[in-house]
Amino acid sequence: MRRLDREIAQRMERIPNPLLSVQGLGSVITAGISAEIADVHRFPADPQLAKFVGLVWRQHASGQFVAEETRLAKSGNVYLRYYLIEGANLMRQHNLEYQAYYRRKYDEVPKHQHKRALVLTARKLVRLVFALLTKNQTYVRPQAVQSQEAAPAQ
């Protein structure tokens, strides 16, 4: 596995990919995301990409009743869903912004805390991936931006 991971990393170095600039996402996860999305410009916005992945919840309503607890739509690209959820799990471990977001979503509900928070974090990652790939820009960590803005004022 390590040899295969090294091979993927070497091949990814040759391809300009803004996802590699995200701390927490490795070359294997970014290679999987890039391969499964192929061309991000075929999606008008990030909600369509999330629907393609299957990171949306089904609507369950009848008359005045609207269900509070609904299932995740399991349709979509299962491989891309796997890469995004694994990437979200890595992001919550290595990125303070994603860790705080995961914790906030985890504390919101009493049931299905980890799964719900992880899927919502993956949705946040979908927005980031879509923005980075459409603009073809590297990821700038929010803490780095704040410290750069504060530096000239001193």
The residue with tokens 């977001």 is 101
Q: Return all residues near 17 (Cβ < 8 A) that are at least 6 apart.
A: 30, 34
CA angle 33, 37, 40 (to 5 degrees): 120
The residue with tokens 């739509």 is 73
Lowest average pLDDT, out of 9-23, 33-47, 140-154, goes to 140-154
Share of the chain above pLDDT 90, in %: 44
pTM strictly above 0.85: no
Distances (CA, A) of 39 to 115, 124, 130, 142: 28, 19, 10, 27
pLDDT band at 109 (very low <50, low <70, confident <90, very high): confident
DSSP conformation letters of 141-152: -HHHHHHHHHHH
Tokens encoding 66? 């609207």
> Looking at residue 150, what is its pLDDT?
52
Q: Is 51 exposed, middle or buried (0-12, 13-18, 19+ CB in 10 A)?
A: middle
Per-residue pLDDT, averaged over 54-58, amounts to: 83
Compute the distance between CA of residue 29 and CA of residue 31 in angstroms, rounded to an integer.
5
